[in-house]
Chain A
Amino acid sequence: MKGRKGLLRFLPLSAMLLFLAGCGEDRLTALDPYGPQAQWIFDNMILSLYVMALVIIVVFTLFFIAVVKFRRKPGDDEIPKQVEGSKTLELTWTIIPIILLVILAVPTIAGTYYLAEEAPEAAGSSGEEEGEEAEEAADAAAEGEDAVVIDVTGHQYWWQFDYPEGFTAGNEVYIPVGEKVWFNVTGNDVIHSFWVPALGGKIDTIPGVENSLWLQADEPGVYKGKCAELCGPSHALMDFKVVALERDEYDAWVDSMSQEEEAPEENSVAAEGRQVFEDQGCIGCHAVEGQGSAQGPTLTNFADRDYIAGVIDFNNENLEEWIRDPQSFKQGNNMQPYPDMSDEDMEAIIEYLNTLSVEDEE
């Protein structure tokens, strides 16, 4: 893993490796970066740590010498020399910190612009330029053409991801590996913050404001994302996942997400479940394959998820409990409870939900 290698170079942090050992398969920690943005952030954090280490060493050294050397001995009543101050010293500890700060300020500004890069305009008609420039422009245009731009909306307490292809995903966002993916984020109700520690920084999702952020994953895998702005009682449980796939797998995934719903086999339990899903009004909040509204997370690929509602282990018991009493898992969430649903209906609906997959059957 490339992040690990980088880490070992930095002895001050190697202690932290100890703590990394506990990580599960979902990549979470920012100390193990998996993309250029996260790497940049990590490297500059290390840079600032070096500067800070310098400051701390100087201060601590002076402090300990002073404390040890200048203790008053018992019975020593002599008054020490009353020193007014020293211009040279004063100047020294003004100028040196300024230099240190300049060292930090330069990458700060550079990085601010680096990370603020906007999504490329799709398909540029730039035929006029010559030579290298034209080539670059063409490259950029090509990149712009199939650059992935995903609209993110934060809801209390789930995430909505709208793809340019026109479909919606809930709580799990798929991205292609090795390229910059742009997220245009906004909030639906209160402010949330979109954060995938192992891939990069965070950006607030604010109602009425459009923000954007790019992320890039260098390796396929699952990256854990979190909501980082207090948004209500279940703020702690507003997790999501970023699934990074190789480009061809990603395209395949996009294709299957875009497809029309294939109705469950007739007279199967799942078909019954589908009926219940409509009768009970689930579809009023949950879209499946493009049908229904987006008041709740889209369930098109629900069965592919590892968690229900982002944080609950995926199994049928939990699913039933979730449908009967969502509040018991996530206080204050906006899903309607179904405490009185009959057992058959429940069974059917769970069966149906379990069929909602877009991954290829093995």
Chain B
Amino acid sequence: MATATATKDKSVLWDWLTTVDHKKLAVLYLIAGTLFFVKAGMMALFMRIQLMSAENDFLTGQTFNELITMHGTIMLFLAATPLIFAFMNFVIPLQIGARDVAFPFVNALGFWIFFFGGLLLSVSWFFGGGPDAGWTAYVPLSSGEYADLGLDFYVLGLQVSGIGTLVSAINFIVTIINMRAPGMTMMRMPLFCWTGLVVSILIVFAFTPLAAGLALLMLDRIFGGQFFIPDMGGNAVLWQHIFWIFGHPEVYILVLPAFGIISEVIPAFSRKRLFGYTAMVFATLVIAFLGFMVWVHHMFTVGLGPITNSVFAIATMGIAVPTGIKIFNWLFTMWGGKITFNTAMLCASSFVPTFVLGGVTGVMLAMVPVDYLYHDTYFVVAHFHYIIIGGIVLGLLAGTYYWYPKMFGHKLNEKLGILMFWLFYIGFHMTFFIQHILGLIGMPRRVYTYLEGQGMETMNLVSSIGSFVMGAAILVLVINVVYSAFNSERITVNDPWDARTLEWSTPTPIPEYNFAQTPQVRSLDPWFYEKVHGDGTMKPAEPMTDIHMPNGSILPFVIGLGLFTWGFGMVMMNMENTIVPPFLVIGTGVILTFGSMLIRSIKEDHGYHIPLEQVKKIEKEVS
């Protein structure tokens, strides 16, 4: 039996490559997500520079198309998703009072597969350019006949990173269902856990059709499948259905965790419990269900017929109701509270009106005949950036400022934080509000330029300037992170915000086993309950004993690498004169992947135990 000593004497790098600790994986997700966010953000800036004036020739149409595609794809799959996963990973086990997730190994696997998938997508730049058919990759434009290698990278990169996301999601579901501390019933779970659960379920049901769709596109591009070519009996609309069956739930996958974060931050800084908790849970479930029933609203102009369009329009409008419930519950959480405005709360509270602005344009889009006007114009671009930035990004920023002390042991600088917030907020409205009007006066989306004399110059210029202000805000955030790392006071208390949920009952920094004794939960907002009704500490639900911990493993990394190699080999099949034959590369990838799985399956790994004395020692140190 291995003991705790086995973890010593390892290099830092090795430690991070092999870690299965959910807190460290959260940090990895955070870093990877931030890097991808900055990358995609820079692409957006390039796009805005190109659109700053009429008939600008900073970028060619081809490059511009590659940039929009990569911007959209990276932002949704490789920036927003991992950032959300970062918080889910860090917070959910703590909030439900668990020592770890259900499958620590799978958790690490999910991260590395996602990461290598993202890498595969990104290396497309070095092999003749990125994908250029938009993040929606509509066929025939994305099919073998009209698109180059870039799309092979898109297809395989997303396929790989999708697998990573899928296995992580399964892990979260099982964690939340099976690993809750005693007394933590489903209806006592913090809303962030609820949204985490629902989102993971959405991932399981939405990423699988995506995998199927990507497989079809891959087969079309690499093996000559005829799914989309009308002359061969195929159909081009098929892809759009499959994509949006995934694509619409995907947008809720992104926004629900942001709702969750907001539902944590607003009560914490209003010092009031979440208004209408039950209704909030219910609304989340309804949104998730309806999210699967509305995808055709992206296809109103495809010409599916009036019955189809009407049905899906009504279903789409229906989503406004549960979302409205959430909005008003947040407002009434603040109502009658005692609100502290720091950066986290600024972001969280301003989320509410901003999101409503994006939401109502969504409902406008759902009016089918009027969508014939809006569709594929800048009005839609404005709609989703309002929701995504006003919703997801503000939510993530709120989460960052809120959980940062727990994650890194010090707060972010407040002055810089507030500067960032205002820059971001102003820049954001400047960039995107005006785009509504641009769409209405006839600017389609995904255009790399527009002609002079159509009245679009000024508005585009304003929009571009706004995007720079937003960029500056993100720059301030980056500066803040570096600055605070050196100049901020260490947090020594458990609970710097005087918050409500279980994660704040753990010591800072958190020991690797999270809780020396699993806590006994007695109420919703258990930590707040103990502070008010108890003695300010969590009651233990079990005696102190040896603590069982999982072993680290390099296999997740190797499997990720294997899938990367495999995917790359598949892309090579479409390359002209490769140095090594593609099947060799594919073979290597397959062997790495399945070999590691075989090893994992054959070697029984029961983890190790931290002996009681050591637990006691650690507990003394941190308190």
A associates with B: yes
Chain B contacts for A207, CB-based, 8 A: 140, 230, 236
Interface-facing stretch out of A89-97, A275-283, A291-299: A89-97
Are A90 and B325 closer than 8 Å at their CB atoms?
Answer: yes
Residues in B197-252 with C-beta less than 8 Å from chain A: 230-231, 234-237
Interface presence of B317 (CB below 8 A): yes
Whether the pair B321, A98 counts as a contact (CB closer than 8 A) is yes
Bound-complex Cα distance A62 to B455 (A) = 37
Contact among A24, A94, A202, A237 for B376, CB-based, below 8 A: A202
B397 CB, nearest partner CB in chain A, Å: 18
Interface presence of B377 (CB below 8 A) = yes
Q: CB of A258 within 8 A of chain B?
A: no
Q: Taking the complex as formed, is B174 at the interface, i.e. its CB lies under 8 A from any CB of chain A? A: no
Q: Choose, from B76-84, B188-196, B334-342, B599-607, the stretch at the interface.
A: B334-342
- B270 contacts across to A, CB distance below 8 A: 70, 80
From A33, which residue of chain B is reached at the shortest CB distance? Answer: B373
Q: Are B360 and A55 in contact (CB under 8 A)?
A: yes
Write the chain B residue with the least CB distance to A32.
Answer: B441
Task: Name the one of A21, A30, A189, A311 contacting B373, with C-beta atoms under 8 angstroms.
Answer: A30
A181 to chain B, nearest CB (A): 16
Q: Which residues of B contact A193 (CB under 8 A)?
A: 301, 375-376
Q: Which of A20, A63, A90, A202 contacts B331 (CB 8 A)?
A: A63
Asked if A341 is at the interface (CB within 8 A of a chain B CB), the reply is no
- The listed residue with most B CB atoms (<10 A of its CB), out of A41, A49, A67, A113, is A67
A20 touches B455 (CB 8 A): yes
Tell me if B301 and A202 are in contact (CB < 8 A). Answer: yes
A59-B356, A90-B279 known; A104 vs B367 contact (CB < 8 Å): yes
Q: Residues of A contacting B231 with CB < 8 Å?
A: 208
The answer, among A67, A76, A236, for a CB contact under 8 Å with B448, is A236
Could you mark each residue 74-115 of chain B with 1 if its beta carbon is under 8 Å from any beta carbon of chain A, else 0? 000000000000000000000000000000000000000000
Task: Say whether A233 contacts B65, CB under 8 Å.
Answer: yes
Q: Does A122 contact B (CB under 8 A)?
A: no
> Given A29-B442, A41-B370, A311-B451, is A63 in contact with B353 using a C-beta cutoff of 8 Å?
yes
The chain B residue sitting closest to A114, CB to CB, is: B369
B310 and A112 contacting across the interface, CB-CB below 8 Å: yes
The yes or no answer to B352 lying at the interface (CB within 8 A) is: yes
- Any B CB within 8 A of the CB of A83: yes
Judging by beta carbons under 8 Å apart, are A109 and B310 in contact? Answer: yes
Is B349 part of the contact surface with A, judged by Cβ < 8 Å?
yes
Produce 1/0 per residue, B268-287, CB < 8 A to A. 00111101111100000000
A72 touches B338 (CB 8 A): yes
| Minimum CB–CB distance for B364 against chain A, Å | 5
Question: Which of chain A's residues have a CB closer than 8 A to the CB of B339?
Answer: 66-67, 70-72
> Inside 8 A of B376's CB, which chain A residues have their CB?
193, 202, 228-229
Q: Least Cβ distance of A350 to chain B in Å?
A: 23
Collect the chain A residues with CB atoms within 8 Å of residue B447's CB.
235-236
Other-chain contact of B237, A79, A112, A206, A212 (Cβ < 8 Å): A206
Taking the closest CB of chain B, its distance from the CB of A16, in whole angstroms, is 6
Of the four ranges (under 10, 10 to 19, 20 to 34, 35 or more), the interface on chain B belongs to 35 or more
Name the B residues within 8 Å of A195 (CB-CB): 444
B133 on interface, CB distance cutoff 8 Å = yes
Nearest opposing residue in chain A for B453, CB measure: A24
Q: Please, which residues of chain A bring their CB within 8 A of the CB of B340? A: 72
- B364: chain A residues at CB < 8 Å are 45, 48-49, 52
Given contacts A89-B328, A228-B376, contact A190 B455 (CB under 8 A): no
Q: Kindly supply a per-residue 1/0 record for chain B positions 355-375, scoring 1 wherever the CB is within 8 Å of any chain A CB and 0 otherwise.
A: 011001101101111111101
Task: Tell me, in angstroms, the Cα distance from A24 to B278 when the chains sit together.
Answer: 56
Which 8 pairs between the two chains have the least Cβ-Cβ distance? A201-B372, A208-B230, A22-B455, A233-B61, A236-B447, A85-B276, A111-B369, A211-B303
Instruction: List 5 A–B pairs whose Cβ atoms lie within 8 Å, in order of A's numbering.
Output: A19-B437, A45-B364, A70-B335, A108-B366, A235-B65
Give B residues with C-beta under 8 Å from A. Answer: 60-62, 64-65, 132-134, 138, 140-141, 146, 230-231, 234-237, 270-273, 275-279, 301-303, 305-306, 309-310, 313-314, 317-318, 320-321, 324-325, 327-329, 331-332, 334-341, 349, 352-353, 356-357, 360-361, 363-364, 366-373, 375-377, 437, 440-442, 444, 446-451, 453-455, 457-459, 532
- Beyond A28-B441, A76-B338, 17 additional contacts (C-beta under 8 Å) are A31-B441, A45-B370, A56-B353, A66-B334, A83-B336, A111-B369, A112-B313, A190-B140, A203-B301, A206-B237, A207-B230, A208-B236, A226-B442, A232-B65, A232-B146, A235-B444, A236-B449
